[in-house]
Structure 1
Amino acid sequence: MSGTTTRITDPEGVTRRRFLAGTGSILGAVTLSAQAIPAAAQADSQAAAGPIGDGARVPVLVIGTGYGGSVAALRLAQAGVDVHMIEMGMAWDTPGSDGKIFAHTTSPDGRSYWLRTRTKQPLSNFLGFPIDKDIPRYTGILDAEEMGGIIVYQGRGVGGGSLVNGGMAVTPKRENFGAILPSVNADEMYSTYYPRANAGLGVSTIDPAWFDSVDCYQYSRVGRKHAQRSGFPFVFVPGVYDWDYMKQEAAGTVPKSAVAGEILYGNNYGKKSLQKTYIAKAKATGKVTISPLHKVTTVSPASGGGYTVVIEQLNTSGTTTATKSVTADRVFFAAGSVGTSKLLVKLKATGALPQLNGEIGKGWGDNGNVMCGRANHMWDATGKVQSAIPTGGIDNWAAGGAFAEVAPLPTGIETYASFYLSITKNPNRASFSWNAAAGKAELNWQTAWKQPSIDAAKTIFDKINSKEGTIYRTDLFGTYKIWGDHLTYHPLGGAVLNKATDNYGRLHGHPGLYVIDGSLIPGNTSVNPFVTITALAERNIEKIIATDL
């Protein structure tokens, strides 16, 4: 996206109409028509995987296939335990009618959103025009779940959030860890579990010399220059992208993926999502089975021991086609912060798991996420070609409580804009509760609670704007609205470690039930959270295997 309207002056003569039509981004896209829904083979592939049968009995059932669930499945399988994973989304292993598994960022279609008939893009407006569009209802990859004053973006499919995030694999600074997980031994995390997680995820850092030379990171170099001129440290952020593949993309020798702007609705080639790392290793053991398009609705103690789990099988329209009851000796809740929290709140309130304690549903936070854009001068062009994988951040955590990733706006034309997703030290925490009349769990987050995040982000961007003589964009999140304070990509908490669970994720009152995902982390990680979620899962599952099995 661009600077203010007065600054959109492309030297190659892009007209306003052409500029609008050609502009999309990783966060908001303008398109003229929807692509066709993927081939029916997409749905057929789910059945071919052999979904769990009604009446089955399994040693371990894992609810969800994101970071925590994938770690648990792999390590349990390596310990000789048979594991069945339940995933609400699709397998994402079959190309659609365009030959690609995932839809392109600037051309959202049914594959792009989870059971919506209109896109819900984080950047909702551009130059005063709304940019969301109608799409076919489908079990697509990105869930934009609206709850209590916030939109929570979540990945739907085998691989969970790893399918749709920017791949920024950041380990928190050691000095910040005590505030993130106060009951966890930091020495163990930094000597054993963070390294194990980074190895398992395939984390690496971009070649700095290549970064400095390639056109697709001009936007990030501009972000670095502006940060450093205002006295802020710019840090290279590790990632889970195949950098050698990206070098080939930039050279034009392989199909483009990140360099083509693919990210928000999946990345077709170079990104090392969980499908390619933990899940691939888990499947290779021969002890892990996955049922996509299955949704757990209740868990309760079984009369003969273990737990009865009721599961709905879905079709690609989101309709329940079968209801199954299975028995599991042990159940791991790994449906993500929102999914796990909502399910546990329901199970406690409805009496299915009456012994769960009063901490269930509490301690939920948004990782302090807030977004903004800056309108640069024409001499600070950010580049027509932008890799969708962020590689740099501005660290003002110690002084201002903010860490800002320099994010791409891969539109295909020059925009003279810098865009940022900030993670901030926001102290506000929400809770989930059960609304019996509505039959659903609700979150009490209030949009006004984002103000500390805005204040923290301003410690960076007010200073940069002052130094550079630039201004904030006001047209990306509505009319004359500077801050994207309506969303989060990083939901955390709701079943907090050592409160709703013991110090290793065992749920109180119900032996054999565990939480192993981001709901264990109370609201903030100071950086992008998935490495911490993975490392904590590695720590917890090691203890559980050693002592419980």
Structure 2
Amino acid sequence: MSHTPQSASSDIATDTRSGVSRRGFLAGAGAAAGAVAVLPAFTAAPARAAAISNGASVPALIIGTGYGGSVAALRLAQAGVPVEMVEMGMTWDTPGSDGKIFPKVTAPDKRAYWLRTKSKAPVSNFFGFPIDSDIPRYTGVLDAEEFAGITVYQGRGVGGGSLVNGGMAVTPKRTRFAGILPSVDANEMYDTYYPRANAGLGVGQIDATWFESADCYQYARVGRKHAQRSGFAWTFVPDVYDWNYMKAEQAGTVPRSALDGQVMYGNDYGKKSLVQTYLAQALATGRVNVSSLHKVTSVTPASGGGYTVTIDQINTNGDTVATKTVTAAKVFFAAGSVGTSKLLVKLKATGALPLLNNEVGKGWGDNGNVMCGRANHMWDPTGTLQSTIPCSGIDNWDAGGAFAEVAPLPTGIETYASLYLSITNTTRRAEFTWNAAANKVDLSWQTAWKQDSINMAKSIFDKINSKEGTIYRTDLFGGYKIWQDGLTYHPLGGVVLNKATDNYGRLQGYDGLYAIDGSLIPGNTTVNPFVTITALAERNIDNILANDPM
């Protein structure tokens, strides 16, 4: 097993990751420019800023460094507001002994998972054999957080979910927007904020001509052929991967990442995560500091105004090694749908923020995620080289309520399999509640609710199987299961806009507290959600800066 960026036994008290400076962060920001000469984030020895100090008083504190938090940090800093960002995960900028920051999907090590001792891959079996393996406990990049009815996959580290997703950057069809965020003006979103988000994220399209001959997308061309022969619409999907770099990967002129099995445990080279885009710009202002391996545990009104924020500093084993108390005039909750929802539900129930309204914790959904695989005929090979970055999907939303990403299965061998992640039009919503006896937050999701999503996905794949004379794979998800119905990659909701907050994310009951992440979106975006999260954050921070004193 290769060494990871930092020894699991290292102590945060001496861990140079605890604070991130502008220079250190920008060392690997070349990917944002879209040039072929994309450099990994560890190309220079970074200078470090100090982590946030015990007793500090700050104008704005942002909890989390994902999409919403990164937008807020950039726009606040550009407006002249000093910003402290607190991130529970690590700063991923140092290679292990294998020369890579991140492991492959086929070889998870301690870098892969957040404080687990066994991996938990979404595709848990192969040819009927379990593939999860024992790993050392470590603050790895992917959290497989288990609730009673569902496992929620989330990014852990500076950059949040942008570190571990496939980069599919999809703007929902305008006709569907009213069903996603009914209180938001669609005109301003599509005229101003979606374009701003797409530009800020570095969204681009695959070269359609190159796609036709690229070995690494044979699997996607097979998916297209089968979809179209069954009468389904097939479409290219935008992405934040550097497509010129992808071409160079296939040509063998640059180090591989997407073509070397990197995606859900991070990507070393071609993907433009927030580290290369919004966060790099925010740090370049000189007004933003990031404290990694810091976890917010409490926010309460301070006697002299603003808020007292309690923060645990942790080491790479997850142990608390210091507790800090700081004061912030404004606090932005950007810990992701689950993180923000859990924290606010706890703070309301335990009396830290009792004036939060009863909508906090409600309206959570899984974006209708469900996975399946199909066993193709021997004359339909999907290729031994597969890019981990999806570039296409099957659209049956209007007729069957499902959009299916044509997903890779990058095993390095020919599988004759097509894998799909579907987003479906499910209306199921769960609630986070405080379990005082267990001192934790529960989620009311029920696995049986996934049957709605399965039925919608079947509107595509039953027809394809019938047309092609193929069957579902039963060896990928354990126990002869056809459907992976126990997960979501796209958690949404829990602090729903215009219910738990006002129409711009201000938390009801408390001036100066804001939610600015995927918790604001009630359960479904009809597509991969991060562009919508980013655009909504752009809209909300515009209004906050225009109307709230900073």
SS of the residue corresponding to residue 345 of structure 1 reads helix
TM superposition shift of 1:475: 1.1
Q: Deviations over 1:490-547 (max 9, x none)?
A: 0000000000000000000000000000000000000000000000000000000000
User: 1:44 and 2:16 equivalent?
Assistant: yes
Q: How does 1:267-346 map to 2 (within 5 A)?
A: 267-346=267-346
Q: State how far apart, in whole Å, the 2-side matches of 1:68 and 1:182 are.
A: 19
TM superposition shift of 1:103: 1.5
Contact 1:58 1:329 in 2 (8 A): yes
Name the structure 2 match of 1:152.
152
User: 1:483 and 2:483 equivalent?
Assistant: yes
Q: State how far apart, in whole Å, the 2-side matches of 1:183 and 1:506 are.
A: 14
Q: State how far apart, in whole Å, the 1-side matches of 2:82 and 2:351 are.
A: 29
TM superposition shift of 1:259: 1.1
Q: State how far apart, in whole Å, the 1-side matches of 2:384 and 2:99 are.
A: 26
Q: Deviations over 1:15-62 (max 9, x none)?
A: xxxxxxxxxxxxxxxxxxx33343449943335441100000000000
SS of the residue corresponding to residue 197 of structure 1 reads helix
Q: State how far apart, in whole Å, the 2-side matches of 1:179 and 1:400 are.
A: 16
TM superposition shift of 1:292: 0.2
SS of the residue corresponding to residue 464 of structure 1 reads helix
Q: State how far apart, in whole Å, the 2-side matches of 1:314 and 1:371 are.
A: 35
Q: State how far apart, in whole Å, the 2-side matches of 1:276 and 1:143 are.
A: 22
Task: Tell me whether 452-461 or 409-418 shows the greater mean CA deviation.
Answer: 409-418
TM superposition shift of 1:104: 1.8
Q: State how far apart, in whole Å, the 2-side matches of 1:149 and 1:93 are.
A: 34
> With structure 2 as the length reference, what TM-score do the two structures score?
0.93
Q: State how far apart, in whole Å, the 2-side matches of 1:362 and 1:148 are.
A: 16
Contact 1:337 1:494 in 2 (8 A): yes
Q: How does 1:307-456 map to 2 (within 5 A)?
A: 307-456=307-456
Name the structure 2 match of 1:460.
460
TM superposition shift of 1:98: 1.7
What residue identity is the alignment partner of 2:161? G
What residue identity is the alignment partner of 1:38? P
SS of the residue corresponding to residue 111 of structure 1 reads coil
Q: State how far apart, in whole Å, the 1-side matches of 2:406 and 2:51 are.
A: 41
Contact 2:17 2:90 in 1 (8 A): no
Q: State how far apart, in whole Å, the 1-side matches of 2:97 and 2:287 are.
A: 33
Contact 2:68 2:334 in 1 (8 A): yes
Q: State how far apart, in whole Å, the 2-side matches of 1:182 and 1:460 are.
A: 28
Q: State how far apart, in whole Å, the 1-side matches of 2:205 and 2:127 are.
A: 36
Query: Any gaps of 5 or more consecutive residues in structure 1?
Result: 1-33
Name the structure 1 match of 2:518.
518
Contact 2:394 2:405 in 1 (8 A): yes
TM superposition shift of 1:478: 0.9
Q: State how far apart, in whole Å, the 1-side matches of 2:206 and 2:5 are.
A: 34
SS of the residue corresponding to residue 483 of structure 2 reads coil
TM superposition shift of 1:101: 1.1
Contact 2:17 2:292 in 1 (8 A): no
SS of the residue corresponding to residue 451 of structure 2 reads helix
SS of the residue corresponding to residue 115 of structure 1 reads coil
What residue identity is the alignment partner of 1:70? S
Q: State how far apart, in whole Å, the 2-side matches of 1:418 and 1:499 are.
A: 41
Q: State how far apart, in whole Å, the 1-side matches of 2:67 and 2:61 are.
A: 15
Q: State how far apart, in whole Å, the 1-side matches of 2:541 and 2:5 are.
A: 37
> With structure 1 as the length reference, what TM-score do the two structures score?
0.93
Q: State how far apart, in whole Å, the 1-side matches of 2:399 and 2:183 are.
A: 25
Q: Deviations over 1:101-135 (max 9, x none)?
A: 11122111110000001101111112221111000
Name the structure 1 match of 2:498.
498
Q: Deviations over 1:329-357 (max 9, x none)?
A: 00000000000000000000001001000
Name the structure 2 match of 1:60.
60
Q: Deviations over 1:54-92 (max 9, x none)?
A: 000000000000000000000000000000000000010
Q: State how far apart, in whole Å, the 1-side matches of 2:49 and 2:231 are.
A: 54
Q: CA RMSD in A?
A: 1.0
Q: Deviations over 1:388-437 (max 9, x none)?
A: 00000101111100000000011111111000000001111000000011
Q: State how far apart, in whole Å, the 2-side matches of 1:132 and 1:36 are.
A: 19
SS of the residue corresponding to residue 418 of structure 1 reads strand
What residue identity is the alignment partner of 1:46? S
Task: Tell me whether 340-349 or 42-51 shows the greater mean CA deviation.
Answer: 42-51
Q: State how far apart, in whole Å, the 2-side matches of 1:521 and 1:222 are.
A: 34
Contact 1:35 1:107 in 2 (8 A): no
Length, aligned pairs only: 516
SS of the residue corresponding to residue 448 of structure 1 reads helix
Q: State how far apart, in whole Å, the 1-side matches of 2:332 and 2:404 are.
A: 33
Q: State how far apart, in whole Å, the 2-side matches of 1:345 and 1:169 are.
A: 30
Name the structure 2 match of 1:194.
194
Q: State how far apart, in whole Å, the 2-side matches of 1:539 and 1:377 are.
A: 48
Name the structure 2 match of 1:123.
123
Contact 1:363 1:495 in 2 (8 A): yes
Name the structure 1 match of 2:235.
235
Contact 2:332 2:514 in 1 (8 A): yes
Q: Deviations over 1:246-280 (max 9, x none)?
A: 11000000000111121010000000000000000
Amino-acid identity (%):
75
Contact 1:61 1:84 in 2 (8 A): yes
Runs of 4+ in structure 1 deviating by more than 6 angstroms, as ranges, are none
